[in-house]
Amino acid sequence: MTLVRLQYSIMAAALLLSFHDVDAQESPHALALQNKSLCELTKEIRPGFLLGTHLSAAHMPDTVENEKPRQIIAREYNLISVGIYQKSTQRKSQDDWNFRSIDPVVHFAEQNGLKVYAHPMFGSDGYLADWLLKDDLTNDKMLEMIEDRIKTVLTRYKGRIHILDVYNEGFGRAARGWRENENRFLQLGWHQNEFGRWPIALEKMLLWCRQYGGDELKLIYNDNNNTHLGMPQSLDCIALFKALKKQGIPIDGIGIQCHTKITQHGEHRLSASSQAHGPKFDAESFAANIRTMGEAGIDVVVTECDVHLYGTIDDEKLAKQASAYRSILSACISEPACKAFKTWGFTDASCWKPMKKGNHGHDYEPCPLVFDRDYHPKPSYRAMKELLIERIIKDECMIQN
């Protein structure tokens, strides 16, 4: 063992002791680091890296019960995402605008110095309002509606939204190619070059988002099942990025949703659905996928990370969830191409709940996030913090030697 590694091992041991013994004095520096928030620790490792969570407007009303979650978000994160879904912002018609679920979140972000990630401007048919699915719009009218929506939203929030999912979930789930039958916007025609084909609608969306949102707005294509190296959607996302860049169409990055789960048998697998078996999560393949995207010039954003729990939720299951969060964040922090890590909510009290959605007869909540229903940090939160502190101490040892 080299001297550097020996020093690091000694400091890491003191660090781990301090996490489990509040009276420990062996590592004052580690104790000081423990008092810092997740985003403060991240800043020491990767200045400019964004650590965020998805935020519901339900947490925004000025009520006593919402004070604690707002305090947690303002302290722990430097990025929040807000839903700008077409089916909620234009529920009844093209001109029936409703920003009540967006304005409070954006205002909260501005008050607390947080960047805003908007999700999504457009997406597959599940994100569309009924009137749009029923209307038999001509292609020209559809493009007119697309531009009007982009202009309205980005004019209202210009300079206040920093990252935007321009399109969400266009590629097939199990095989390469576009989900044309589930995406109304993909029926407007195609363009193609040597890297592949892309929807005319997506091209127009990106061009208009740059026009109305400005050069500083980061434009993202977001999808799922693109977590590991060589997965069909991973290959599709890289090809799409290269094709668009070749044609001079503005796009900045790719979003990896990264919904995962701990199965009833304790395995960490991709896909939050209990019915979708999904491959085992492979941290090395995940990191290699980010690296490969980076080599193609792609800024990678982990956009919707969570780790659903199935079966009996006990200390062992929570420890596996903690290990899962640690491994995902570790890859994100270690790979320069990854610019942000965002969880799909922060508390089990308000999360994506399969039980409420009626999925597969669940009669329990999957508790997928890093704070529990009472806003107490779970082992997952502590595992993320341990990872960041260990990385800071390791980096300091390397600089000193």
What letter does residue 113 receive in the DSSP assignment?
A: T
Nearest Cα to Cα of residue 82 among 49, 109, 48, 113: 109
- At 58, the amino acid letter reads A
**Considering its fold, how many domains does the chain have in total?**
1
What letter does residue 181 receive in the DSSP assignment?
A: G
Buried b (16+ CB within 10 A) or exposed e, 277-288: ebeebbbebbbb
CATH code at position 242:
3.20.20.80
Q: What is the pLDDT along the chain (401 residues), one digit of tens a residue?
A: 444 444 444 454 455 444 444 333 356 777 899 999 999 999 999 999 999 999 877 666 666 567 889 999 999 999 999 999 999 999 999 999 999 999 999 999 999 999 999 999 999 998 999 998 887 889 999 999 999 999 999 999 999 999 999 999 999 988 899 999 889 999 999 999 999 999 999 999 999 999 999 999 999 999 999 999 999 999 999 999 999 999 999 999 999 999 999 998 999 999 866 666 789 999 999 999 999 999 999 999 999 999 999 888 999 999 999 999 999 999 999 999 999 999 999 999 887 765 555 445 455 678 999 999 999 999 999 999 999 999 999 888 877 76
**Residue 220 belongs to a domain:** yes
**Residue 349 belongs to a domain:** no
**Residue 91 belongs to a domain:** no
Backbone φ and ψ for 53, nearest 5 degrees, come out as -150, 155
**Residue 125 belongs to a domain:** yes
Nearest Cα to Cα of residue 345 among 6, 22, 57, 19: 57
**Residue 154 belongs to a domain:** yes
Q: Which residue range(s) make up the domain with 211?
A: 120-256
**Residue 132 belongs to a domain:** yes
**In the beta sheet, which residues pair with residue 32?**
none
**Residue 322 belongs to a domain:** no
Q: Please, what is the Cα angle at 155 between 154 and 156, to 5 degrees?
A: 90
Tally DSSP H helices, then E strands, for the chain. Answer: 14, 13
* CB burial of residue 46 (10 Å; 0-12, 13-18, 19+): middle
Nearest Cα to Cα of residue 305 among 245, 255, 364, 366: 255
